Amino acid sequence: MKSSPLFQILFGLLLVAYAAYGWAFIQRTAIVVDGEKIQALFDDAMISMQYAKNFANGDGLVWNAGGERVEGYSNPLWVLLMAGIHLLPIPLTQTSLYLKLLSLVFLLANLVVIKKLAEQLSNNKLVPILAAFLTAFYFSLNNWSLQGMEVGLQALLINTGLLLALRSIRAKTFSYWLYVVFAISILLRMDSAAPAIVATAVIAWIDKPHRKQHLQWGLSAIVATLVALTIFRLTYYGEWLPNTYFLKLGGMSTILRISLGLRRLWDFVWNSNWVLFALPLAIPLLDKRKLLWPLYAVFIALVGYSIYVGGDAWEHVGGANRFIAAVMPIFFILFAHTAGELVESMLRNAKFKSERAQTFGGAALVVFIITSLFSFNNLLVNNPIAKWALTDKPVFADSVERYALMGLALREVTSPDAVIAVITAGNIPYFSERTSIDLLGKNDPFIARGPMRVNSSLFEPGDYRPGHNKWDYAYSIGELQPDVVAQIWEGTEEEAAPYLVNYERYVIDGIPYFFLEDSDKILWDLIPPQN
């Protein structure tokens, strides 16, 4: 379906509006220090930046320059893109800006793909633009992507693969390019293998004339990519699986983890208005084409993966987690298509065929979609609409600023060979440029293989936060003796206290730190006087 000039103009205006919104979003996450704007990312993204910085500097794909080889990331292609930015003559305080801009470009490209993908399914000229509109102003997708995570690029790759698949099916041809795209998506994030496998199976099922080619190319591309990553991991890190696998999945009942993942999914759907989420379930009654199956399959695959790993560590803020956010554009296509079909069905049944009736139906569809956007952007934090509208700082922006400033402060009061123990393992090591100890084990195999500390029951998350439930202060502080303990995991102060007896507590810019007594790596004369 080719858009009319009017709808092409509307879509062009949408792209311009979103580009302006994305730029404003990036500026809203900037940090002002002494009148200068600096940029930083969501802390998990900054862990990847730490690996990228060291790789670009010739120190290898490691968290600590000259340190142990540990695979504390699960997004290899994203790390390589980050490393490319670090090869440019850019100060550390500005590298994050360029990554945010790159993410904005990916998100803009994704809107184009979403529109084209919706056009493969709907004859209603409004539906593709409305699906792109929902995608453009969906807070969770923007927040994860424009604060440094690879979610925007992952969504772009998945949607591009689906577009290539639907085009080839409708043209009754075969395209191997969709499997090249799926392979790239796995290089970006290994968990993209889940939607790639499911999509391959469904596409092969519905495209019977090319079934053998789909299975051969699809499975070969997926398996070859996973094998290549495994060979690299074994060769470079000496492990079959990333350290993050042991950290998040090791030492916990699979049944308990899946039950918590289900509870988190239900909370997300409920708080985003479960009635709206149920709407696309009506599409089989309105559109029986098998062409819709690959979209449903990919959406269900990543939602299923989110359930399997127990959700994410930041479910308490609401909205879609990192896994689900990547496939929400697919949901928005199905949602807009279903709403459009319902409107068309009501008009047909009521025998309203006049131009005025069609205009009224289109207006009702637009109002419904715009109204739904507010429900989809409902967060579990204060002033969710203000954060979406950028009259308030986005979620995570305040914590990112705190950690970045901590890193800069510690760089000023420690010598280059100082060792710092951290909970948030991204911004502080990156900006302090100091060797660090990861108290929660994402970059420490000893902690990652330790026991899981979880106070949860079936369907009751309790204090379960994937990747944040393992620590051992006797080892990380008592044995390793860092020069600075910058943070202690919340609620574990009493547990840490016996290992801090040789440390002195100082407050710098309102933030407490523990400095090892008599350490010659602390620039004591630069520490502000204490009250």
What is the tens place of the pLDDT at every residue in 263-296?
999 999 999 999 999 998 877 777 788 899 999 9
Among 283, 254, 323, 246, smallest CA distance to 122 is for 283
| pLDDT tier, 5 (very low <50, low <70, confident <90, very high otherwise) | confident
Mean pLDDT calculated for residue range 408-417: 96
Q: Say what percent of the chain tops pLDDT 70.
A: 97
Q: Is the dihedral of CA 34, 35, 38, 42 positive or negative?
A: positive
pLDDT at site 331: 96
What Å distances lie between residue 205 and 183, 194, 210, 212, 419, CA to CA? 20, 17, 9, 10, 55
- Provide CB contacts within 8 A for 306, sequence distance 6+: 261, 264, 265, 312, 321, 323, 324
Query: Does residue 517 carry a pLDDT above 80?
Result: yes
Among 377, 302, 329, smallest CA distance to 115 is for 329
Query: Does residue 185 carry a pLDDT above 90?
Result: yes
- Provide CB contacts within 8 A for 305, sequence distance 6+: 191, 194, 323
pLDDT at site 345: 75
Q: Which two tokens stand for residue 248?
A: 């998040």
List, as one string, the DSSP characters of 244-286: HHHHHHTTS-HHHHHHHHHHHHHHHHHHT-HHHHHGGGGHHHH
All structural domains of the chain with their residue ranges: 5-388, 397-526
CB contact at 8 A, 482 and 437: yes
Query: Does residue 306 carry a pLDDT above 70?
Result: yes
Look up the pTM and report it: 0.95
**pLDDT tens digits for 96-118?**
999 999 999 999 999 999 999 99
**pLDDT tens digits for 234-274?**
999 999 999 999 999 998 899 999 999 999 999 999 999 99
Cα dihedral value 504, 507, 511, 514, nearest 10: -10
Mean pLDDT estimate for the chain: 93
pLDDT at site 380: 86
pLDDT at site 351: 60
Which helix (DSSP H) or strand (DSSP E) does residue 513 occupy? strand 511-516
d(CA 160, CA 156): 6
Task: Give bridge partners of residue 460 from the DSSP assignment.
Answer: 457
Mean pLDDT calculated for residue range 15-20: 98
pLDDT at site 350: 61
d(CA 32, CA 125): 44
Q: Say what percent of the chain tops pLDDT 90.
A: 84
The Cβ-side half-sphere exposure at 25, using a 13 Å CA radius, reads: 31
Task: Give bridge partners of residue 476 from the DSSP assignment.
Answer: none
